[in-house]
Amino acid sequence: MSFANTEAIGPTLASHRFDMIPGTNPPACFAWSIEKLRFAALLLMGATLPAAILAMAPSVAAVRVLGLAWLFAIARLAHGIARRATSGTGVLMIDQSGILDLRLMPRRIGWHEIEMVFPVNLDRGKVIDLSLRWPDTTLAGTRWLTRIGAILQQAYGVPAITISMLLLDGEVADLLAIIARYRPDLVPASTMRRATAQ
């Protein structure tokens, strides 16, 4: 698998030294979870019955159009689930260079570009949120939905990037532990204490 360009963007953090000697921390990779995808497919199947009833109902045309649109959306989601189930490749990779989430962008987010990892509830959390040092620069050239994160961080102080573990073969605690392996300074101490206690 070929990786995207991982050259540094923006100012470097030369004043900070971190343990990034190649080989000391092997890269981690998360792929799509077949069990979680199967559960999502079952939920979609349950949603098709009401949609089919609306689409076939002998009533107002607008209701039938709504039902057909609902069925079309379910078909698109089902196709996406099937594609992910057969991909067999890593989606989220973490190594000494940074975090590569192919769902968000084709290149790594370098460790020097991440300002902090927001605290997360390890019992219920399915995502981690990242604040970026230079959101405009880091997210330049990504899809418009991803670029919205830069605007939201600059305007409202909310995280620029959200990394979801919902359908991947791991949990939020696993992801946080791997991030802490490379950059313990990014993970809130209270969150890491709870992660190591579990």
100-109 tens-digit pLDDT: 999 999 999 9
The answer to the question of residue 45 being in a domain is yes
Average the pLDDT over 53-70 and give the result: 78
Say how many domains are in the chain: 2
Strands (DSSP E) found in the chain = 28-31, 90-95, 98-101, 109-110, 114-117, 127-132, 161-164
If you count them, how many residues does the chain have? Answer: 198
pLDDT for residue 88 is more than 70 = no
Tokens of 48: 């098709």
- CB atoms closer than 10 angstroms to residue 13: 14
pLDDT at 101: 93
Domain edge (last residue) among 53, 87, 121: 87
Considering the domain architecture, whether residues 175 and 115 belong to the same structural domain is answered as: yes
The answer to the question of residue 23 being in a domain is no
pLDDT for residue 12 is more than 60 = no
pLDDT at 112: 95
Average the pLDDT over 172-193 and give the result: 86
pLDDT at 66: 82
pLDDT at 24: 61
The answer to the question of residue 167 being in a domain is yes
Kindly indicate the confidence band of residue 148, based on its pLDDT and cuts at 50, 70 and 90.
confident
Considering the domain architecture, whether residues 137 and 180 belong to the same structural domain is answered as: yes
This prediction has a pTM of 0.70
Considering the domain architecture, whether residues 81 and 119 belong to the same structural domain is answered as: no
Considering the domain architecture, whether residues 190 and 123 belong to the same structural domain is answered as: yes
Question: 13 or 19, which is more confident?
Answer: 19
The answer to the question of residue 11 being in a domain is no
CA distance linking residue 142 with residue 182, whole number of Å: 25
pLDDT at 96: 93
CA distance linking residue 104 with residue 168, whole number of Å: 14
pLDDT at 196: 59
CA distance linking residue 64 with residue 76, whole number of Å: 18
pLDDT at 18: 38
Average the pLDDT over 14-26 and give the result: 46
The answer to the question of residue 155 being in a domain is yes
Question: 148 or 5, which is more confident?
Answer: 148
CA distance linking residue 14 with residue 29, whole number of Å: 27
Considering the domain architecture, whether residues 123 and 179 belong to the same structural domain is answered as: yes
The answer to the question of residue 28 being in a domain is no
Considering the domain architecture, whether residues 126 and 173 belong to the same structural domain is answered as: yes
pLDDT at 155: 85
pLDDT for residue 151 is more than 50 = yes
Tokens of 23: 């080989």
The answer to the question of residue 24 being in a domain is no
Kindly indicate the confidence band of residue 7, based on its pLDDT and cuts at 50, 70 and 90.
very low
CA distance linking residue 104 with residue 139, whole number of Å: 9
Considering the domain architecture, whether residues 115 and 58 belong to the same structural domain is answered as: no
Considering the domain architecture, whether residues 138 and 186 belong to the same structural domain is answered as: yes
Considering the domain architecture, whether residues 67 and 123 belong to the same structural domain is answered as: no
| Positive or negative torsion for Cα 135, 116, 99, 146 | negative
The answer to the question of residue 2 being in a domain is no
Kindly state the percentage of the chain with pLDDT values over 90: 27
Range of the domain at 46: 34-87
- DSSP code per residue over 181-195: HH-GGGS-HHHHHHH
Domain edge (last residue) among 87, 102, 131: 87
Considering the domain architecture, whether residues 133 and 178 belong to the same structural domain is answered as: yes
Considering the domain architecture, whether residues 120 and 191 belong to the same structural domain is answered as: yes
